[in-house]
Amino acid sequence: MKIKVAKCAGFCFGVKRAINIAENALKELRPGDKIYSLGPIIHNPQVVEELFKEGLQVISSLEKIKGGTAIISSHGAPLKVAGDIRKKGMKLIDATCPFVKYAQNIVKDLKKEGYGIVIVGDSAHPEVKALKSIAGKNKNLKKIGVISQTTQSRENYINEIKKILSEDFSEVKIFNTICNDTSKRQLATRRLLEDCDLMIVVGGKNSANTKRLWQICKESGVDSFHIETELEVSKNWFRGKKRIGITSGASTPDSMVKKIIERIRRF
């Protein structure tokens, strides 16, 4: 049995950066200091748990927090959040991915120019919530700007753009805000699917870019499984299979992929 790993595996730049920011902040903590992450700093429960052991507490709101340091996650946060942190006299550390910041800056510029803004993405995702807060309530539906959540699939974004262009607008500006790493991972996964009869997608069940990879694998018709850790791997999956492909989300550490490979080899 052959095991092939997608060329784009391991942490992406934005995830590495956010983890480094959190770890450096934890090193500088003095006794009695508190440090909080507004939502998971990245969408990988195992990494978040490791950071929790080091002292990084995940919170959903600032309501009951009285002081300390607050880190904005790699996905960004609504505009109001930074102001609320400062009002409480807390130290603010912004770990927003630079590619997410790029999308945010496009939205700011479009808003200034009077464009209605269309965001293609998951409305419940923290990145999209942050973008919506910047876009505000401009209802101009004749002059619009279109951007995408950074972890959208290229195909889905194109399909949504086609629908938008079928409407009656006087002007449409379209921006490609899909992260380059996201596109590369999706392409590498598609290439792996051509030569494998079973695919394993490794990453957080709450990770948007990992779920996109899982969706691509499911749609291909190849037997596929989305897992977070090696403990989820079942021996029964591999009966009659000759070529196993492994792909991973942007917030999945290389060490987890290695653990999964080791478990498969033991089988």
| C-alpha–C-alpha distance, residues 39 and 228, integer Å | 19
Tokens coding 124: 């419940």
β strands within 95-165, DSSP E = 116-120, 143-148
Length of the chain: 267
Is 127 assigned a catalytic role? Answer: yes
pTM: 0.90
Q: Are the beta carbons of 199 and 224 closer than 8 angstroms? A: yes
**What confidence score (pLDDT) does residue 138 get?**
73
β strands within 155-238, DSSP E = 171-174, 198-202, 223-227
> Could you give the domains of the chain?
2-10+181-266 (3.40.1010.20), 13-97 (3.40.50.11270), 99-178 (3.40.1010.20)
What is the spatial order of strands in the sheet that 91-94 belongs to? Answer: 56-59, 35-38, 69-72, 91-94
Tokens coding 199: 């695919």
Q: What is the pLDDT of residues 152-167, one digit of tens each?
A: 999 999 999 999 999 8
Residues β-bridged to residue 94: 72
pLDDT over threshold 90, residue 140:
no
Q: What is the pLDDT of residues 160-201, one digit of tens each?
A: 999 999 988 899 999 999 999 999 999 999 999 999 999 999
Q: What is the pLDDT of residues 202-234, one digit of tens each?
A: 999 999 999 999 999 999 999 999 999 999 999
Residues β-bridged to residue 172: 144
Residue 90, Cβ neighbours under 10 Å: how many? 19
Catalytic residue among 63, 127, 194, 219: 127
| C-alpha–C-alpha distance, residues 253 and 230, integer Å | 13
**What confidence score (pLDDT) does residue 147 get?**
98
**What confidence score (pLDDT) does residue 190 get?**
95
Kind and range of the H or E element at 244? strand 243-248
Pairs from 34-38 (Cβ < 8 Å, separation ≥ 24): 34/65, 34/67, 34/68, 34/69, 35/68, 35/69, 35/70, 35/71, 36/65, 36/68, 36/69, 36/70, 36/71, 37/70, 37/71, 37/73, 38/62, 38/70, 38/71, 38/72, 38/73, 38/77, 38/81
| Closest of 245, 129, 257 to residue 196, by C-alpha | 245
How would you label 139-167 residue by residue, b for 16+ Cβ within 10 Å and e otherwise?
eeeebbbbbbbbbbbeebbeebbeeeeee
In this prediction, what percent of the chain has a pLDDT beyond 70? 100
Tokens coding 189: 């996964």
**What confidence score (pLDDT) does residue 10 get?**
86
